[in-house]
Chains A and B, each alone.
Chain A
Amino acid sequence: GQSLEQPSEVTAVEGAIVQINCTYQTSGFYGLSWYQQHDGGAPTFLSYNALDGLEETGRFSSFLSRSDSYGYLLLQELQMKDSASYFCAVRAANDYKLSFGAGTTVTVRA
């Protein structure tokens, strides 16, 4: 099976940088995804890493180290609208379902 660990909460001020770490254990690995969910809304896809390294998409970046079974999501120039829950999720090799972490609640303060 798969298990993922990520912090439960992070609080930061507008304009700051937040890094959400995710460590995973999986029998076979295909890729690590990040999803954002605002209260009452649908989880929305943010990024995906299958290979080691950094993927940058605007203010958000995601990093993966396959050898360390570790990844992180970096939120830069935080805005109030970034207050949400962020989930890391893995896909195992030859599998199509996502296994999620418990989510990190990010609160952005003025």
Chain B
Amino acid sequence: EAGVTQFPSHSVIEKGQTVTLRCDPISGHDNLYWYRRVMGKEIKFLLHFVKESKQDESGMPNNRFLAERTGGTYSTLKVQPAELEDSGVYFCASSQVMSEETQYFGPGTRLLVL
């Protein structure tokens, strides 16, 4: 069974540009989470999808971030326009049910905004 995959693995963009990150969860997992780790600090929650619906988006930093999960399969996270402080590692995780104690993480996308 394939794990959570993320694309791209790395992205370097200039301030003001747009970047779109993609996450493919484990097949059959209805729950999809986005997290971010900035500057070696703690991994912080961004948002949670259940199928195509946003269950919790309390961690989204501002309206420059837009997440979608059309069709309830893969998800995209768009940053537009990117700022320097958006640099970090963006992780996606999935789980089959909300109450599941384990979330399965992808390898992350390393974003550098110059």
Cross-chain contact A42 with B108 (CB below 8 angstroms): yes
**Cα distance, A99 to B46, chains bound together (Å):** 11
Query: Total interface residues on A, using CB and 8 Å?
Result: 24
A87-B43 in contact given A43-B91, A96-B48 (Cβ < 8 Å): yes
Q: Which of A31, A43, A95 contacts B105 (CB 8 A)?
A: A43
Chain B residues positioned under 8 Å from A91 (CB to CB): 101
Cross-chain contact B56 with A97 (CB below 8 angstroms): yes
Cross-chain contact A96 with B98 (CB below 8 angstroms): yes
**Cα distance, A44 to B48, chains bound together (Å):** 19
Number of A-B contacts (CB under 8 A): 57
Query: Total interface residues on B, using CB and 8 Å?
Result: 26
Q: Mark A19-51, 1 if CB is under 8 A from B, else 0.
A: 000000000000101010000111111001010
A71 CB–B CB distance under 8 Å: no
CB B55 to nearest CB in A, in angstroms, measures 7
Cross-chain contact B42 with A96 (CB below 8 angstroms): no
CB A81 to nearest CB in B, in angstroms, measures 18
Cross-chain contact B105 with A42 (CB below 8 angstroms): yes
A41-B101 in contact given A97-B56, A100-B43 (Cβ < 8 Å): no
Question: Would you list 12 pairs from A and B whose C-beta atoms are within 8 A, ordered by A residue?
Answer: A41-B107, A42-B106, A43-B105, A45-B104, A91-B101, A97-B56, A97-B59, A99-B45, A100-B35, A100-B44, A102-B42, A103-B43
Rank and list the top 5 A-B pairs by shortest CB-CB distance, nearest first: A100-B43, A97-B45, A48-B101, A42-B105, A43-B105
The residues of B with any CB-CB pair to A shorter than 8 Å are 3-4, 31, 33, 35, 40-45, 48, 55-56, 59, 91, 98-99, 101-108
